[in-house]
Amino acid sequence: MEALARGLDAALRGRRVVAARTYSPATVQGSVPLDAAVGAVVEGVERRGKLIVMRLGPRLTLVTHLMQAGRLGLASPPSGSRPPRRACAGLELDDGREVRLRELSTTHRAWMRLVEGPPEDDPAVAALGPEPLGLTADGWRRALTEPPGVLHTALRQGRRVAGVGRCYASEIMWAARLAPLARTDRLDDAAWQRLATAADRVLADAVEREERTVTTDLPDKHTRVTAVHGHHGEPCLRCGTALARVGFRDYELVYCPACQTDGKRYSDRRMDRLLR
Ligand SMILES: [Zn+2]
């Protein structure tokens, strides 16, 4: 996401919007029609949590949430009357390209919304918690205990802390040796300190890796970039115990049953959720 925002910023900054197209009306939320962006100049693109925020001067903001399978990228404007495959909406720019939102899934639909005002005037942006990188132990405690919750869920709630996805949540909990299903109000000072340290390391590594991938365009498939995410059944890098998994309705998390949960193994939660 960070790399996508930076790439779009470099490609779009200073370009003027010359046309707006809505291919899939359900994708465009809010009360301001996309057409209102025509004539505006792109002042910058940035990531806020899981949102891509495009400032359109002088007084508009375009907020996009890609959800699970939305894609935002540059394409040629459509020729003829048929909408491009999977296209949801697009803004054509004065360099002849279109920045286009596409949707590859039939659920978890991506959306975009034009807002009159700065990014903070959008309810989704305004609702975001602090950025996780550099957050102190106290900052983490406040964010995840007001109100208390289950650690792995609280970590991924953008209103508490912006933009920690499922993969990084698992990585951070493993690095901090924290039990995913721990109640956040039961964590002690040492645990919060480990969480802050682990989050900084995991997220800084991720940004650095993303930047390397973007600049070299050569993702190294032989380097293991996650310690637990995607490594169910493999030995823990710290203690050698086989990593365990717990499945939820929409995702699974992988953890070490020796160094995170004191030997406790979680049962699968998928059925619980369905029956509730
Ligand atoms: Zn372990």
Could you tell me the distance, in angstroms and rounded to a whole number, from the CA of residue 132 to the centre of ligand 1? 24
88 or 271: which leads in pLDDT: 88
Q: What is the location of CATH 1.10.8.50 in the chain? A: 137-275
- Work out the burial of residue 262: count CB atoms within 10 Å of its CB; fewer than 13 is exposed, 13-18 middle, 19 or more buried: exposed
- Closest to 104 measured CA to CA, from 154, 58, 68: 68
CATH topology of domain 137-275: Helicase, Ruva Protein; domain 3 (1.10.8)
pTM (predicted TM-score):
0.72
Q: Tens digits of per-residue pLDDT, 197-223?
A: 999 999 988 878 877 765 555 555 556
Could you tell me the distance, in angstroms and rounded to a whole number, from the CA of residue 236 to the centre of ligand 1? 5
Could you tell me the distance, in angstroms and rounded to a whole number, from the CA of residue 259 to the centre of ligand 1? 4
Could you tell me the distance, in angstroms and rounded to a whole number, from the CA of residue 29 to the centre of ligand 1? 45
Q: Tens digits of per-residue pLDDT, 106-145?
A: 876 899 999 999 999 999 999 999 989 899 999 999 999 9
Could you tell me the distance, in angstroms and rounded to a whole number, from the CA of residue 121 to the centre of ligand 1? 44
Could you tell me the distance, in angstroms and rounded to a whole number, from the CA of residue 229 to the centre of ligand 1? 13
Could you tell me the distance, in angstroms and rounded to a whole number, from the CA of residue 192 to the centre of ligand 1? 19
Rg of the chain on CA atoms, in Å: 21
* Contact call for residues 38 and 32 (beta carbons, < 8 A): no
- Continuous segment of H or E residues that includes residue 64: strand 60-65
Could you tell me the distance, in angstroms and rounded to a whole number, from the CA of residue 232 to the centre of ligand 1? 12
Could you tell me the distance, in angstroms and rounded to a whole number, from the CA of residue 227 to the centre of ligand 1? 10
Q: What is the location of CATH 3.20.190.10 in the chain? A: 2-126
Q: Is 12 left (phi over 0), alpha (psi -120 to 50) or beta?
A: alpha
Reported as a pLDDT band with limits 50, 70 and 90, residue 276 is very low
Q: Tens digits of per-residue pLDDT, 17-34?
A: 999 999 999 999 999 999
- Closest to 6 measured CA to CA, from 268, 212, 270, 261: 212
2 or 169: which leads in pLDDT: 169
Q: Tens digits of per-residue pLDDT, 150-207?
A: 999 999 998 999 989 889 999 999 999 999 999 999 999 999 999 999 999 999 888 7
CATH architecture of 2-126: Alpha-Beta Barrel (3.20)
Could you tell me the distance, in angstroms and rounded to a whole number, from the CA of residue 142 to the centre of ligand 1? 28
